[in-house]
Amino acid sequence: MNTPMARYVEQVMGMPISLALRGKHTRDARARSTWEAVVDELREVDRVFSTYRADSFISRLGRDELSLPDCPPEVSEVLEIANQAVEISDGAFSVYLPDPAGGLVFDPSGVVKGWAVERAARRYLDGLEDTDYCLSAGGDMVARTLDPTTEPWCIGIEDPLDPNRLVATVPVRTGAVATSGTSHRGTHIIDPRTGRPAYGIASVTVVGDSLTWVDIEATAAFAQGAQALSWLRTRPRRTGLIVWADGQTTLFDTSHPVGQGAG
């Protein structure tokens, strides 16, 4: 018997947000109200964190019009995650990015998307009984599958050198997938340590248990260019794929104990 499934789509935070549901709650009132709660949550995140809105708390904080205690508590939460990300990446990830004039721009967007989507899923989608979900934001996603006999979600990884084809598909039961690359926004990821774009790399996909962290790690790895693979091998319980600038691909897997995992 086919499992009921439904898909919802909305434009929020400047990107397409989509939700796939399968199981008990798909097109009923509970499913629709939960989707509305997710969208409302992400709109509120945009109100607080958008760097494109002059009146957002983050924009005002960046202009020194506010201090951190004046902001909602989630701002401190995001900035604490950012501090951890700077530490684990040796500065390859930062919320202070070089601008063309030689200064620094305060932009925590590299933390906010994954954190916000993961938080919305935990707050609302986890409460849908007997229902699997896959919540995607701009191609990064968090998924849940309750029944181990159910087919996993099949996540396509776009070829950064040819967006009309997939370079791989990833089966995910419960976990998160994030990709950083050049296919839609060009060379936009800067190594904060040098102020220059990364080179030699086209995309990085990281799979793990937390969308907040795999999104950060994909960005930090991409910024490191040729050193992406060696750094990703230091991150525990991760799998993924690197597409190099010449089209070659490398899989990595740190999900097994030392001596038993794939390289």
pLDDT at 214 (0 to 100): 98
Cβ neighbors of 35 (< 8 A, separation 6 or more) are 8, 19
Q: Render pLDDT for 185-206 as a digit per residue (tens, 0 to 9).
A: 545 688 898 888 888 999 999 9
Helices of type H across the chain: 29-49, 57-62, 73-88, 109-123, 211-223, 228-232
Pairing outcome for strands 15-23 and 201-208: unpaired
pLDDT surpasses 50 at 246: yes
pLDDT at 4 (0 to 100): 85
pLDDT surpasses 90 at 69: yes
pLDDT at 178 (0 to 100): 98
Question: What pLDDT band is residue 183 in, cutting at 50, 70 and 90?
Answer: low
Q: Render pLDDT for 115-171 as a digit per residue (tens, 0 to 9).
A: 999 999 999 999 999 999 999 999 899 999 999 999 999 999 999 999 899 999 999
User: What pTM did the predictor assign?
Assistant: 0.92
Q: Residue 240: which of 254, 251, 255 has the closest Cα? A: 251
